[in-house]
Structure 1
Amino acid sequence: MTLSQSSSSKSTSLVQHVRAGKVYRREDLVPYSTSVDRELQQLVAQGLLQKLAQGMYYKPKKNVFGEVPPNESDLLAVFLKDKNFLSFNPSVYNSLRLGTTQLYNKNIVYNHKRHGMFKLDQREYDFRLKHNFPKPSQVTTEYLLVDMLNNLSDLAEDEDEVLERAKKKLNQFDAKKLNKALVDFGSVATKRLVNAWLSQGLSKPGVL
């Protein structure tokens, strides 16, 4: 028996329990192997698994174009051990057309479990603990405005210019949605700022 055949036979038991396109934690695979670290090392060496981060593995899925990277939602859910999070790239603020133009090479992840910078599958993620954030399907333009104002000091933009544009275009946002986003997700500073704009008559009377 050749060395490659020997390695393949040793890793047979574990490889039977991993499915293409799925992300796994080492601890999830322990029940399927008497020597999980050795088998994982063998599977990575054989290209049957990819190591995404410490203790995290992915069995590649292939299509006509080649290997498909892991689904980001699955990747983050496995890392956090929680499906409740909101991942976004700050470049999304550019869609508000308030003068932001920067492109960012990392995603921010609001969650209840982890805080700090982590690299997963060669991608940078900025995990931030947040008590409250919307589900991805509930993110509105008004929420993005509030969140941008919350994080404006972290952005590579001219703050004064962005604030001036936001103040002038406040009436272009849905008043009820903006009020809800402000109440539910606005920081103290953001609430104070927007309320000051409103008190100056920068919105239609009574809409917020």
Structure 2
Amino acid sequence: MKAQSTSQEKVTPLAKHLRAGKVYRREDLVPYSTSVDRELQQLVVAGRLTKAAQGLYYAPRKSVFGDAPPAESDLLAAFLKDKEFLSFNPSVYNSLRLGTTQLYNKTIVYNHKRHCVIKLDHRSYDFRMKHRFPRPNQVTVEYLLVDMLNNLSELAEDEEMVLERAQKKLNQFDAKKLTKALADFGSVATKRMLNTWLSASNHATEPKGALNE
């Protein structure tokens, strides 16, 4: 009984505070320890914590495959100190079926606070500050088209081929949703190009003589 009591007494307030799968910033753990840096180092060595980046830690979740990282959304929220962001892999543009085929080993994070490329838990993240971007559950194919055109010069694709296919398949997208996504999120160049395409498409579908009525 005494051994059990002694073991419990060694559990510090910081260690008691930790929850599997949770992400912590060093500054948030200071109130739980009189020597936070030393204790964090000890917890990392003991496997209770994993260091994801400078000043950023998480308590691993146990699984049948061993220690598991936290949810990516929790890691990004803790790093940014903000839950307003949109993360995605550029490979998602392939779902538009406009001829893009490349697979990318990076994650882009639109956010309001940080502009940098950094590794978090050995994964590379490209943080880009933007004033506006949709919530994850509001991402539409029309938004993806606008965003792909915004970033087309960065992609390892044949730009002329992608643009040609996008223009030919423009009628497959919802015109109202596309117009709104363009107004809300399009770059100046993307707005100019897509508006030209939309105007040409509208003229092409007008019945003969409509302009003279």
Q: Does TM, scored on the shorter chain, surpass 0.5?
A: yes
CA distance in structure 2 between the aligned counterparts of 1:58 and 1:199, rounded to whole angstroms? 51
Equivalent residue runs for 1:32-181 within 5 Å: 32-181=32-181
CA distance in structure 1 between the aligned counterparts of 2:91 and 2:70, rounded to whole angstroms? 22
CA distance in structure 2 between the aligned counterparts of 1:73 and 1:79, rounded to whole angstroms? 10
Q: State the secondary structure of the residue aligned to 1:149.
A: helix
Offset of residue 196 of structure 1: 1.2
Instruction: Say whether the 8 Å CA contact 1:143–1:181 is kept in structure 2.
Output: yes
CA distance in structure 2 between the aligned counterparts of 1:173 and 1:94, rounded to whole angstroms? 15
Give the TM-score normalised by structure 1.
0.91
Offset of residue 12 of structure 1: 2.6
What letter corresponds to residue 52 of structure 1 in structure 2? A
CA distance in structure 2 between the aligned counterparts of 1:171 and 1:102, rounded to whole angstroms? 24
Q: State the secondary structure of the residue aligned to 1:82.
A: coil
Offset of residue 73 of structure 1: 0.5
Instruction: Say whether the 8 Å CA contact 1:26–1:56 is kept in structure 2.
Output: yes
Q: State the secondary structure of the residue aligned to 1:118.
A: strand
Question: How many percent identity over aligned positions?
Answer: 76
CA distance in structure 2 between the aligned counterparts of 1:113 and 1:13, rounded to whole angstroms? 32
Give the TM-score normalised by structure 2.
0.89
Whose Rg is larger?
2
Offset of residue 195 of structure 1: 1.1
Count of residue pairs the alignment pairs up: 199
Unaligned runs of 5+ in 1: 1-7
Equivalent residue runs for 1:9-48 within 5 Å: 12-48=12-48
Q: CA RMSD in A?
A: 1.7
Return the structure number with greater helix share.
2
Unaligned runs of 5+ in 2: 1-7, 207-213
CA distance in structure 2 between the aligned counterparts of 1:184 and 1:142, rounded to whole angstroms? 11
